[in-house]
Amino acid sequence: MKALSQRRRHPLAAVALLLMALLATGGIYAAASTANEAQAQTTTFTANDVDEGSKLFAANCASCHGMGATGSDAAPSLVGVGAASVDFQVGSGRMPMQMDGPQAQVKPVQFDDEQIRQMAAYVASLGAGPAIPSDEILDPAEGDSSAGGELFRVNCAMCHNAAAAGGALTRGKYAPSLEGTSEKHIYEAMVTGPQNMPVFSDANITPEDKQDIIAFLKTIEEQGSPGGADLGSLGPVSEGLFIWVAGLGVIIAFTVWLTSRSS
């Protein structure tokens, strides 16, 4: 008993216990993150998808991103960005870029769904990254729009505006309006962090919470502007400007009318 008691009071005992606690915490966190990601993943790709995707990538993307997607002076490496990043960037028309600028502009999509899937498969084969979400986690009918609204205002509204109308950022960049954006692209943007957007991993915002945000965005999109003209949904600045200009116009018109009466 005396020897056991001495070992318990060993100077390294506290360090050993701390290391064990850290390892246990890390293991639990990794397991939880993997479980969350598994909820949102879609079907796997075939070897043919990867092969065809590599050909499309070499013909359309390698001039900037380099052979093997390892990056260049013109564009970053795509190793580890995942299939979701390719599906978002190419599926929304942002890639391939039309011209250099502060950020990629939305334009007509240049590839069909099968080609986008094949390029996503190729990039996914280069390293682990966010997967294309499944249809089940994208259904806004299964989400809670009220909870999603709260999450959106806390995490997204400072850039995208509380009404998701978008807003200006620094150095010519901007957060785009989310009106008309598909459920899949909204989800993929959250997990990949395109342009200036931060990454909201499943450890930060769970797949269910992302589904709630999608439900909120689709709800306000369907409702439109029940209070009348939304004036760009830019808040009190645009509304105040409208009142100032309209009010000033009324005052000038009234002044002209009085002058004409007196003469």
Please report, for the domain that includes residue 102, its CATH number: 1.10.760.10
pLDDT in tens, 97-133: 888 888 888 999 999 999 999 999 999 999 989 999 9
According to the model, what pLDDT value does residue 58 have? 94
Count of beta carbons in the 10 Å neighbourhood of residue 74: 11
Whether 165 maps to a domain, the answer reads yes
Q: Which CA distances in Å does 12 have to 2, 6, 17, 103, 192?
A: 18, 12, 9, 53, 42
According to the model, what pLDDT value does residue 125 have? 94
Tell whether 159 is in a known binding site.
yes
According to the model, what pLDDT value does residue 139 have? 93
Q: List, in sequence order, every residue forming a beta bridge with 44; answer none if it has no partner.
A: none
Mean pLDDT rounded to a whole number for the chain: 84
Tell whether 160 is in a known binding site.
yes
Based on the fold, state whether residues 119 and 140 are members of the same structural domain.
Answer: no
Tell whether 64 is in a known binding site.
yes
Inform me whether the pLDDT recorded for 157 exceeds 60.
Answer: yes
Cα separation, 116 vs 247, whole angstroms: 52
Inform me whether the pLDDT recorded for 171 exceeds 70.
Answer: yes
Count of beta carbons in the 10 Å neighbourhood of residue 175: 21
- Rounded to two decimals, the pTM is 0.72
Whether 168 maps to a domain, the answer reads yes
Tell whether 249 is in a known binding site.
no
Choose the final residue of a domain: 131, 163, 198: 131
Based on the fold, state whether residues 112 and 142 are members of the same structural domain.
Answer: no
Q: How many domains does the chain have?
A: 2
Inform me whether the pLDDT recorded for 49 exceeds 90.
Answer: yes
Inform me whether the pLDDT recorded for 56 exceeds 50.
Answer: yes
Whether 193 maps to a domain, the answer reads yes
Give the domain range for residue 121: 39-131
Please choose, from the candidates 57, 73, 88, the residue with its C-alpha nearest in 3D space to the C-alpha of residue 194: 88
